[in-house]
Amino acid sequence: MKIALMDSGIGLLAAAAAIRELRPDADLVLSSNPASMPWGPRTPEEVTELALGCCRAAAELEPDALVIACNTASVHALATVRAELEPRIPVIGTVPAIKPAAALGGRVAIWATPATTGSAYQRGLIRDFGGTAEVTEVACPGLADAIEYGDEDAIAAAVADAAARTPGGTDALVLGCTHYELVADLIRTAVAPTASPALTLLGSADAVAAQALRRIADPATTGTGTLTVLHAGAPATLPPVATHYPQGRALTALTA
């Protein structure tokens, strides 16, 4: 079994670690283009072209499924990637966990990149799945980039800024960017003082991992637990910054 994941940078670590936890034998292909970051300010056409490049490079290794482990890329490029690769390779997009968050009721905050916040895509999800929940979109400028480069001061500043703009009494916080799941504990700590005591954080990694395994034609196929890293289509290794985060450490340890 081989599963490929693509993202602009290390945001794919969360879904990769979730897949590896479910199937330690799965061979993983991590395809990204960190030199092209950030993707948020780019046009939809640019994001689509960059995402296609990462997906095409991964597809050359003939994975059994491909995960677009990036909210921004899923917004702009999912349909295009599916049109090119399916049905040969099942393609799984990443959707913010708005539906399960809204099902809890009360106040829901969605942390996302400025490009995704207020987008027609996210507003559509809120309209279709928000139900009676009181949903607030919270843009997090600079947070994904700070996580990508392991800049602890910038991460702390961006998290504090977003936390200050998150409504008090928030019951559920949706992490609408895959990078944010790498610092979920820090986000929880920052929001907790003004949030509901029963605050729930919801990412997408676990759901994406489960869906990827469901989409594989022959789930009984086994692998050997290898890890292949591609940067802009060229062979690479996990960047040292990956070990700053628990998901990156888990992948590194399992690979070793």
Are 24 and 63 in the same domain? yes
181 and 143 within one domain: yes
Residue of 54, 55, 70, 140 marked catalytic: 70
Q: Which residues contact 76 (CB under 8 A, 6 or more apart)?
A: 44, 47, 48, 51
Task: Please indicate, yes or no, whether residues 110 and 155 belong to a single structural domain of this protein.
Answer: yes
How many structural domains does the chain have? Answer: 2
Same domain, 123 and 191: yes
> Are 244 and 161 part of one and the same domain?
no
- Known active-site residue 177: yes
Q: How remote is the C-alpha of 49 from its chain's centroid?
A: 18
Say if residue 159 is in the same domain as residue 125: yes
Tell whether 191 and 215 lie within a shared domain: no
**What is the domain-level CATH number for residue 170?**
3.40.50.1860
Q: Take residue 49 and report the two structure tokens written for it.
A: 């072209």
Q: Do 48 and 109 share a domain, yes or no? A: no
Verify whether residue 55 is a known catalytic residue: no
Query: What range does the domain containing 14 cover?
Result: 2-94+205-255
Alpha helices in the chain (DSSP H): 13-22, 44-59, 71-85, 98-103, 120-129, 143-148, 152-164, 184-191, 205-215, 246-255
Catalytic pick among 54, 55, 140, 177: 177
pLDDT in tens, the chain (256 residues): 999 999 999 999 999 999 999 999 999 999 999 999 888 788 889 999 999 999 999 999 999 999 999 988 998 999 999 999 999 999 999 989 999 999 998 999 999 998 888 888 899 999 999 999 999 999 999 999 999 999 999 999 999 999 999 999 999 999 999 999 999 999 999 999 999 999 999 999 999 999 999 999 888 889 999 999 999 999 999 999 999 999 999 887 765 4
Burial of 88 (0-12, 13-18, 19+ CB in 10 A): exposed
Asked if 88 and 211 sit in the same domain, the reply is yes
Whole-structure pTM value: 0.92
